[in-house]
């Protein structure tokens, strides 16, 4: 099965220009609503085309007033060339940015991490209460080592590493 973006890549320019038939425009709009890279491409293309139109219009208005016709055509050609260059660049950068996306985190993994962090926090709290009693220093140190070893990567383990250099 091909990448859905490949089906729409050629039509983005026509969509931004408003030149797609209604059915294709609706399909493109639906795809753009769901696809961030294609939406960014369409938005960048739209901005560059609007900028080119503004430059073109401004230059043509100024050309009519004070610049000979030959220069007006040259400015128009440069404006069109610049807008095409920008549009092609945006499309190429977007198509080139087809790196595989990291897979989504599963809810089971999140629940497991939360449970592990919660258990470590409970042990740390109990150990800190125990540390307030006289003669428990060796037990407390052993408990800290256990939390760091068994619950590595949790906020409780990192807190122990920072405060107690374990």
The string of DSSP codes covering 98-115 is: -PPPPPPPPHHHHHHHHH
pLDDT higher than threshold 70 for residue 15: yes
Nearest-angstrom CA–CA distance, 69 and 60:
10
* Nearest-5° Cα angle at 44, 42 to 47: 105
The residue that leads in pLDDT, 35 or 98, is 35
End-to-end CA distance of the chain: 52
pLDDT at position 67: 47
Which residue has 């430059």 as its token pair? Answer: 55
pLDDT band, residue 77 (cuts 50/70/90): low
């Amino acid at each position: 099965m091909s990448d859905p973006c490949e089906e729409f890549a050629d039509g983005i320019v026509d969509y931004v220009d408003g030149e797609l038939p209604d059915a294709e425009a609706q399909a493109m709009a639906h795809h753009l609503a769901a696809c961030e890279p294609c939406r960014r491409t369409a938005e960048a293309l739209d901005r560059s085309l609007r900028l080119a139109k503004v430059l073109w219009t401004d230059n043509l208005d100024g050309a009519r007033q004070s610049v000979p016709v030959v220069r007006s055509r040259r400015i128009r050609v440069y404006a069109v060339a610049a807008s095409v260059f920008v549009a092609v660049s945006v499309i190429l950068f977007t198509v080139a940015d087809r790196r595989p996306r990291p897979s989504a985190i599963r809810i089971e993994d999140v629940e497991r991490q939360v449970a592990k962090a919660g258990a470590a926090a409970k042990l740390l709290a109990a150990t800190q209460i125990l540390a307030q009693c006289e003669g428990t220093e060796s037990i407390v140190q052993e408990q800290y080592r256990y939390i760091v070893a068994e619950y590595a990567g949790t906020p409780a383990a990192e807190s122990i590493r920072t405060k107690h250099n374990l």
